[in-house]
Structure 1
Amino acid sequence: MNTLKTPGVYIIEKNAFPNSVVEVATAVPAFIGYTEKAKNGSKSLINLPFRISSLAEYEQYFGKAPRKDFRLVKTDVNSLGLSALKDPGKFDAVKNWTEAIFKPSEPDDIQYYGLTRNYQFNLYYQLHFFFANGGGPCYIVSVNEGYKQDSFSYDALVGGIEPLLKEQEPTMVVIPEAVYLEEQECYDLQTAMLRHCATMGNRIAILDIYNGDQSRTDSEAGDVITTFREKIGTEFLNYAAAYYPWLNTAIISEKNLGIHSVSNIEDLQNILKSEAVFQKDEKRTQQLLNLAGRITKEGPESPSEKEEIHRILLQQSVAYATIMKKIAHDINLLPPSSAMAGIYTLVDSTKEVWKAPANIGLSSVISPSVTISHADQEDLNLPPDGKAINAIRYFTGEGIIVWGARTLDGNSLDWRYINVRRTMIMLEESIKCAARAFVFEPNTANTWVIVRSMVRNFLTGIWKRGGLAGAVPEDAFIVSIGLGETMTPEDILEGIMRITVLVAIVRPAEFIEITFQQQMQKS
């Protein structure tokens, strides 16, 4: 205050209220993966976390899905025999269209085709899934511009984690394409995600199960859950949650695909010409031959004309419709991590972060790829090693429900539940940001009173909203600060202010037991 030297009236304003704690955002995922492009004007966005809030923004800066996803591959089935051709489990869904068209008595003179996927890039479809399930603002870290199969690697994806060290806002890390790497590379990437989350201390990783579209008794994949538990390690497990199984979704329909979905047009032509030969209607035969001739590499460049050909073929060609159905099925089989990021966002915006993200229906989902029963879930939820896997199950009359809310650190009474971990992160980060204003302030009783009031006011508000358990605020939290309470004279001399906060975070009612007993008739 300036020294008063001139006669007059002076006004002095004093703050009547302490600083407030602003609650940090709790549902901002960071997606790492491959994109069609990565540009903001002329500026490259490769390995640069970029915030978006809608799918339209994603398409503007990062493009769309890869084209020519699939390739028709000639398959020799003579060695399988007719019995194998009649078994869908042995010869995939491809036989559905070949038998439906040709109805062969002998397969010797018939060329069969299988479908193989050229690319494993599915971040675009995962963003569809995220926004369909309540997603909001998120960060995208593009690790490569353009879909090039030889660029799909562990090194590129793990390299997308480091740029997030400079970002404070993200609270979740999701890498959906991790499960398309080699098995060991997938687990190495997921453990790198755990280390990153523990280092930052303000985010969690949402993990998918490698081969999570297979059951635990699959003859080739083996017990996918046991393998996951063995290879995920034992460190930083309270910063992660895992979900099983993968999901058959409705993100893309056959109508949204097209001729561009198949890379080898010549083989597609051959299939259509073969189908045309077996038509009884001469007019339909000619129509299929004409359409087959129009889809050459030098065919129509107009998107509208390609769309028209695609629409007609879906109606007129059994083979083409079956190919598109198979492609849509493969694209729509997605790991659930992006949908769960959307569910976290939905819960946080409609309820609160301390509400467990479970017992909630999933949108754009047709079915889980594996049916899980009550007995099947026992080992998923309560394994001896504590590495709980959250199940996604179908319930009659309710649909597809998230039926688990545990972290991978299930044996810890502190960090067993996802909502407890995420609520504590929110409290820690909110109070940390508010306390930064007191760095270099006098470490005296006046400052301690202000800090205590600030933290108490914030926690009282959380308690009133239901985030802390207790009949009165004193039961819900305790804030301690001061000389002889949290600090020694040596601490003050060294410039250390210590604040101790104890909180009673609400926990979910995971098991509800209702007891029934008969009583004597009273009248």
Structure 2
Amino acid sequence: MPDETMTQPPIPGVLRQDVFPPQAPVFLTGVPAFLGRAATGPRTPQRLTLWPQFEAAYGTDPGGFLADTVRGFFDNGGLLCHVVRLDESKQAAAALQAALDGLADEVDLVCAPDIVTAAPWPTGGSLVPVVTQQQTLLHHCQERGDRFALLDGIPTTDTTKLMQQRAALTRDDGPFGALDGSFAALYYPWLQAAPGGDGALRLLPPSGHVAGVYAAGDQRIGVQKAPANAEVAGVVDLQAYLAPADVGALYEQGVNCLRALPGRGIRVWGARTLAEEQAWRDVNARRLIGTIGRWIERFMTGLVHEPNDVRLWVRIMRELTAYLDELFRRGALKGRTPAEAFFVKCDHETNPPAVVAAGVVVTQIGVAPTAPAEFVTVRVIHGASGVTVDAA
């Protein structure tokens, strides 16, 4: 006999049942691909979740900066990365492009720590090879629309040379023409790691450690968290110390500095892209829009081939509204209400008869990303009754 106690209460009355709705679909962000040199190991992309997996695949001394970069990522809170050993028999930019073309869709950050190989940067060294390869990364991210490049400044104490690198990255005279700098961020100076077997401090590019900062912030808060004012683990010093005036001048040009702050360790002290447009200046704004695009592509493919009518439009609006409302409640969008933070429109206006007849459904969304508080002003007011502090 069937067990009726599972469906019918023993006595008349109110029966409480806890029902847990399914969780909203999510996916991991802050997943970098590290493209670099190694003496041995597979040339196909390797998906790593622990540092020892790198040693098992590529050995303990693979050469270049790839090993230190991956270790720096995990030291700073990274959970998952992809590693690609570049084919050094190919021209550098071509090897990079081939590696980029083979990356998995879950990758949303790209780093190539071996683009800059000389540390410290040689006097009179040409920036052309460096800039050309970094433009390859930037162009790839721009074409995809949902990836972001972490670029290393050259290892120098001469900020004049660094600014030449920064200016060349988005100049329109390269192989890709004018590039959208909002898909990349540039970091400077290089890091000093603990001495190796020879007792000498090692200079390392910052991108791998910074990628760990990105990943940790994504896990703790989300992509709306500016990857800045976070301590960098696994290093002991910086190649260069910058005066506040130098930090300000570099930051104005979109160069994110790392700083050694008394009592607070070494910290990432900037979260700006290389964009000229004010709307795309903040790293979190570009990454948020890219993440929304990735979510739409991944979780709305089930609507393909559905009847293109009002019922489909309502379903699209319902699912997009629920997702954006979740972003609003997590602080990713600004505004006092959801209506101020975003809109979703999918109706007869966005889908006139000609569009429907072509088998297309058009949805318009608008979002207002939050901006980081880069400058916190505290006013000290001297009055007749004493001194008061007003934070504004």
User: TM-score of the superposition, structure 1-length normalised?
Assistant: 0.64
Whole-Å Cα distance in 2 between the matches of residues 183 and 325 of structure 1? 30
Indicate how the Cα distance of structure 1 residues 156 and 450 shifts in structure 2: closer, same or farther if over 3 A, else same. Answer: closer
Separation (CA, whole Å) in 2 of partners of 1:155 and 1:501 = 36
CA contact 2:271–2:282 (8 Å) conserved in 1: yes
Unaligned runs of 5+ in 1: 1-17, 39-44, 67-119, 145-149, 217-222, 258-323
Amino acid across the alignment from 1:183: L
The match for 2:206 is 336
User: Counterparts of 1:135 and 1:456 in 2: how far apart (Å)?
Assistant: 30
Task: Provide the rounded CA distance (Å) in 2 between the counterparts of 1:476 and 1:381.
Answer: 28
Matched, 1:371 2:241: yes
| Equivalent-residue separation in structure 2 for 1:521 and 1:242 (angstroms) | 48
Structure of higher CA gyration radius:
1
434-443 or 20-29: which moved more?
20-29
Q: In structure 2, list runs of 5 or more residues that go unmatched.
A: 1-20, 119-125, 172-178, 387-392
- Matching of residue 438 in structure 1 with residue 330 in structure 2: no
Match of 1:33 in 2: 36
Out of 110, 125, 136, the position equivalent to 1:173 is 110
AA of the residue aligned to 2:181: L
Contact kept, 8 Å, 1:21 with 1:431, in 2: the verdict is: no
**8 Å contact kept, 2:86–2:99:** no
The answer to whether the 8 A contact 2:232-2:267 is kept is yes
Maintained 8 Å contact 1:448/1:481: yes
1:49 aligns with 2:45: yes
Q: 1:20 to 1:449 in 2, by over 3 A?
A: farther
1:142 to 85, 107, 117: 85
Are the structure 2 counterparts of residues 492 and 19 from structure 1 closer, same or farther at C-alpha, using a change threshold of 3 Å? farther
* Alignment correspondent of 1:214: 157
Counterpart CA distance in 1 for 2:166 and 2:181 is 11
Residues in 1 aligned to 2:82 and 2:361: alpha-carbon distance in whole angstroms: 35
What residue number does 2:26 align with? 23
1:404 deviation in Å? 0.5
Asked whether the equivalents of residues 36 and 113 of structure 2 are also in contact (C-alpha less than 8 Å), the reply is yes
Cα offsets for 1:158-193 (capped at 9, x unmatched) = 2443433x5211001100000017632111100011
CA distance in 1, matches of 2:342, 2:256: 30
Give, in whole Å, the separation in 2 of the partners of 1:52 and 1:381.
33
1:193 aligns with 2:63: no
3-state DSSP of counterpart to 2:214:
helix
Looking at structure 1, the residues matched to 40 and 294 of structure 2 have their Cα atoms a distance apart, in angstroms, of 34
SS in structure 2 of the partner of residue 179 of structure 1: coil
1:158 aligns with 2:119: no
> 2: distance between equivalents of 1:142 and 1:353?
28
Q: Does structure 2 retain, via aligned residues, the 8 Å contact 1:143–1:159?
A: no
Question: Structure 2: which amino acid aligns with 1:224?
Answer: K
1:500 aligns with 2:364: yes
3-state DSSP class of the match of 2:258? strand
User: How far is 1:127 from its partner?
Assistant: 1.5
Q: TM-score, normalised by structure 2?
A: 0.84
Instruction: Give the stretch that moved more between structures: 412-421 or 152-161.
Output: 152-161
The structure carrying a bigger helix percent of its residues is 1
1:481 partner amino acid: C
CA distance in 2 between counterparts of 1:439 and 1:455 reads 15
Report whether the alignment pairs 1:205 with 2:165: no
Structure 1 distance, partners of 2:385, 2:101, is 71
In the other structure, the counterpart of 1:270 is none
What are the Cα deviations for residues 103-147 of structure 1, in whole angstroms up to 9, with x where unaligned?
xxxxxxxxxxxxxxxxx6221122122211112211111124xxx
Given that 2:86 and 2:96 are in contact with CA atoms closer than 8 Å, whether structure 1 keeps it comes out as no
Conserved 8 A contact 1:406-1:416? yes
Aligned-residue identity in percent: 30
Indicate the structure whose relative CO is greater, using CA pairs within 8 Å and at least 6 residues apart: 1
Q: For 2:165 and 2:61, locate their aligned partners in 1 and report how far apart those are by CA, in whole Å.
A: 29
Q: Aligned Cα RMSD in Å?
A: 2.2
Contact 1:245–1:369 under 8 Å retained in 2 = yes
CA distance in 1, matches of 2:385, 2:220: 47
How many residue pairs get aligned? The number is 352
Does the C-alpha gap of structure 1 residues 151 and 435 become closer, same or farther in structure 2, counting only changes over 3 Å? closer
